Structure 1
Amino acid sequence: MELGKTVKFQICESFVFDFMPDTLGSLIESSALDLVDMKIYTWQLFNGLQYLSQLQIMHRDVKPVNVLVDHAQGLLKIGDFGSAKVIRPGMTSTPYQVTRFYRPPELLLGSENYNWTVDVWSAGCVVGEMVKGNVLFPGRDTKHQLKLIRRALGSPTDADMKAMNIPRPADSIPERTAGSGLAALLPSARPEVVFFISKILVYKPKARLCGKEILRDPFFDSLFRDESKVKAKLSSIIMRTKLDFSCDDESKESRSRESVVNVQKASKSASKERRLSTDSTGTGEVKKRIRKKSRERMTMAKTAKKGKSVGFSFKSI
């Protein structure tokens, strides 16, 4: 049998992702964010980082331009995993990671033993940037970056240096200062906002507010109160029938299931607090109500396209 002709097939494998029209960076630059936006995006950002930490993955380049946003829906996703790394026991990593403005102090000081808590610091800087409107610590180089951090937080103590796994003693750091506090960098921010960020931007990696604790922080309570008449895009987050990230690290089976954010109502006799949990069972009244609200929103959108006037009232579930 003779070979008549040879045909070369070129196969191009591509990753296809959801289209996200904006980045957090572009929204910050255009001053398009209010306090509600900031809280919505902050919650989602830390929810995503919580999911990555469950998988022992550190992103190592969290910054506004790597945080993708669909502002019309109020939806946020973390992108650009080019610097990401899976954490292994006893593993060391190069400290020259993370864009300088968002690089945590342990990396600036040369630590090679770090984990996903570096992303928590970066995310805290991103939150500060959403509030301030520009970079929180705009260092010109590594030395200047450290100087700006020390100016706000004060110099790290020996205990801080040990917690950050720094290979040199704290007395090698010049210009020991007490720090002016984050409020000096955020003069127009509300005290609750400054206090929230101050719980994230701390020297000791394990002391940084993150995980389930940050998702349940009182800072987000206003988003889930019945009396809170926030914009419709908040409902698109709360009522989504599919959420990419689970915030419950005790239910690891839910990673392979469809996760639904359930805003549970406490008893009227209790303190009427709201806490976030994940309904991984796929049953229950909450999921039915989410589907019902989603259908209502779809009907509203279709009707609006026909030119009819539609009224919509958001109520927390």
Structure 2
Amino acid sequence: MRLLDHPNVVTLKHCFFSTTEKDELYLNLVLEYVPETVHRVIRHYSKMNQRMPLIYVKLYTYQICRALAYIHNCVGVSHRDIKPQNLLVNPHTHQLKLCDFGSAKVLVKGEPNISYICSRYYRAPELIF
């Protein structure tokens, strides 16, 4: 994650390890703060029986494409878990940031990639059956 430096990808501020009383080791990530997710924004409009304004849909879509183009082409990483809960958004500036790289994989030419890693409701149709 330290390699990622793009306006539409969440920034890793700091990381550290901690242990529990049972000597379990945990990696802790400190990320930049972004107050909302696309999922919560969509839910907000849905509760008000409204559609999200088309300008925001277009703006968010553009920013998602920018983030994915960056991580795929510049860094060589596949996210593998794109969903509204993993898209952070600042409701004041409408800047979107891709987060949660827990399922991400560095793409290596010639190495097979397992494509079945993703959230159930956001799987590609060819992976469902």
Q: Which has the higher contact order (CA 8 A, sep 6+)?
A: 2
Q: What corresponds to 1:130 in structure 2?
A: none
Alignment RMSD, CA only?
Answer: 1.8
Report the 3-state secondary structure (helix = DSSP H, G, I; strand = E; otherwise coil) of the residue aligned with 2:65.
Answer: helix
Q: CA deviation at 1:77?
A: 0.2
Report the 3-state secondary structure (helix = DSSP H, G, I; strand = E; otherwise coil) of the residue aligned with 1:77.
Answer: strand
Pairing 1:102–2:116 present: no
Q: CA deviation at 1:105?
A: 3.7
Q: What corresponds to 2:24 in structure 1?
A: none
Pairing 1:36–2:50 present: no
Q: What corresponds to 1:60 in structure 2?
A: 80
Q: CA deviation at 1:104?
A: 2.0
How many residues of Structure 1 are paired with residues of Structure 2 in the alignment?
98
| 1:18 partner letter | E
Q: What corresponds to 1:92 in structure 2?
A: 112
Match of 1:19 among 25, 33, 36: 33
| 1:25 partner letter | H
Rg (Cα) greater in structure: 1
Report the TM-score when normalising by structure 1: 0.29
Matches within 5 A, 1:66-145: 66-106=86-126, 108=127, 142-143=128-129
Q: CA deviation at 1:19?
A: 0.9
Q: Deviations over 1:178-211 (max 9, x none)?
A: xxxxxxxxxxxxxxxxxxxxxxxxxxxxxxxxxx
Higher strand fraction (1 or 2): 2
Q: CA deviation at 1:103?
A: 1.5
Q: Distance in 1 between matches of 2:62 and 2:115?
A: 27
Q: Deviations over 1:52-108 (max 9, x none)?
A: 1112110000000000011111110000000000111111122321112222245x1
Q: Deviations over 1:208-239 (max 9, x none)?
A: xxxxxxxxxxxxxxxxxxxxxxxxxxxxxxxx
Report the TM-score when normalising by structure 2: 0.69
| 1:73 partner letter | T
Q: CA deviation at 1:33?
A: 2.4
Q: Distance in 1 between matches of 2:58 and 2:120?
A: 25
Higher helix fraction (1 or 2): 1
Report the 3-state secondary structure (helix = DSSP H, G, I; strand = E; otherwise coil) of the residue aligned with 2:33.
Answer: coil
Matches within 5 A, 1:158-177: none
Q: CA deviation at 1:15?
A: 3.2
Unaligned runs of 5+ in 1: 1-11, 109-141, 144-317
Identity of aligned residues (%): 38
